[in-house]
Amino acid sequence: MNSRLNAPTLTLAQRQSRFAAKIFNQPAPSGPFKRGEGFAVYRRNLLAVAEAALGVTYPTALRLLGYTDFQALVAELLALHRPTRGDWGEWGEQLPAVISGSELGRKFPFIASVAELDWLRHCANRAADNQFDPLSAQLLQSHSVDDIGIAMARHVGLTCSTYPLVEILDWHADSAVAEDQLQVSRSPRPVQVYRREYRVEQRYITQTDYRFTLGLRAGRSVGSLLDELDGQDFDFPVWIEQAIGQNLISHLYLN
């Protein structure tokens, strides 16, 4: 009797997992294509798609690294973190960590920070449109700030680095940017990424704005954060007016 008839039936997910494993684990051929090398061909195509996708996601990092080194890091990322969804735009978040752990990343540590900014810009560009709920602002009249939280828009991203991330991004867009602007700061500078209508932007923000925004994202109340920032030159009415005007927040809620 054929042993296959007695073998347990594999689910579709299991068959897909085995197929993907063969593609990833099959070594690429060193010579011309031969019979039986089909999985290696799939693997080469997979690498090509991954390189193209991350070239769009990480344009500044690609320019800093150069195509050959970028290609090698993408291959390493693909081996360590296989895509689990069909949308390549959702894959690749770990590339800054892979860069940081590489020999090139240790030699030029600013590239990993730039890659992180690239990822935040990519996420902001793909995020759903945000529309502030004006009715939620009534909570400021009816409740104490100790009971109020603020939901940030999904397109808002935060990072912090001693490297001149905004200036490097400007240099990527225009190589005429003066090199004397590319200076490392003594202390980390927070950068906020956000989308104004259909354009992704980035800017330096103050340490107090950074801490306040991080606290809101962690689900803390406005009141607790204001107590923590007391005496640090933080004006909440000014902050929330600007945040609404720049479409940085989604709504206020009872915490």
pLDDT at 239: 97
The residues that bridge with 151 in the sheet, in sequence order, are 251
Q: Same domain, yes or no, for 142 and 25?
A: no
The answer on pLDDT for 3 being more than 50 is no
Q: Same domain, yes or no, for 90 and 28?
A: yes
**Domain ends where: 74, 108, 126?**
126
Percent of the chain scoring above 70 in pLDDT:
82
Q: Same domain, yes or no, for 122 and 138?
A: no
pLDDT at 38: 58
The answer on pLDDT for 216 being more than 90 is yes
Residue 6: strand, helix, or coil:
helix
Q: Same domain, yes or no, for 149 and 209?
A: yes
Q: Same domain, yes or no, for 196 and 118?
A: no
237: domain CATH number is: 3.90.930
pLDDT at 143: 96
The answer on pLDDT for 126 being more than 70 is yes
Q: What is the mean pLDDT of the chain?
A: 87
Confidence of residue 41 (pLDDT cuts 50, 70, 90): confident
Mean pLDDT of 207-218: 97
Minimum mean pLDDT range among 31-35, 122-126, 155-159, 237-241: 31-35
The answer on pLDDT for 42 being more than 90 is no
Q: Same domain, yes or no, for 149 and 218?
A: yes
Confidence of residue 182 (pLDDT cuts 50, 70, 90): confident
Q: Same domain, yes or no, for 122 and 180?
A: no
pLDDT at 23: 56
User: CA end-to-end span of the chain, whole Å?
Assistant: 66
pTM of the model: 0.83
| Other Cβ atoms within 10 Å of 239 Cβ, number | 19
The answer on pLDDT for 40 being more than 90 is no
**Domain ends where: 74, 102, 126?**
126
Mean pLDDT of 156-160: 98
Q: State how many domains the chain has.
A: 2
d(CA 113, CA 212): 22
Q: Same domain, yes or no, for 112 and 186?
A: no
Q: Same domain, yes or no, for 234 and 180?
A: yes
Q: Same domain, yes or no, for 89 and 170?
A: no
**Domain ends where: 126, 143, 173?**
126
Confidence of residue 189 (pLDDT cuts 50, 70, 90): very high
CB 182 within 8 A of CB 60: no
Pairing of strands 199-204, 249-254: unpaired
Q: For residue 234, give its domain range.
A: 130-255
d(CA 139, CA 90): 35
The answer on pLDDT for 32 being more than 50 is no
Q: Where are the beta strands (DSSP E) in 122-179?
A: 148-152, 157-161
The first and second tokens of residue 12, run together, are 């579709």
CB 217 within 8 A of CB 151: no
CB 170 within 8 A of CB 112: no
Confidence of residue 85 (pLDDT cuts 50, 70, 90): confident
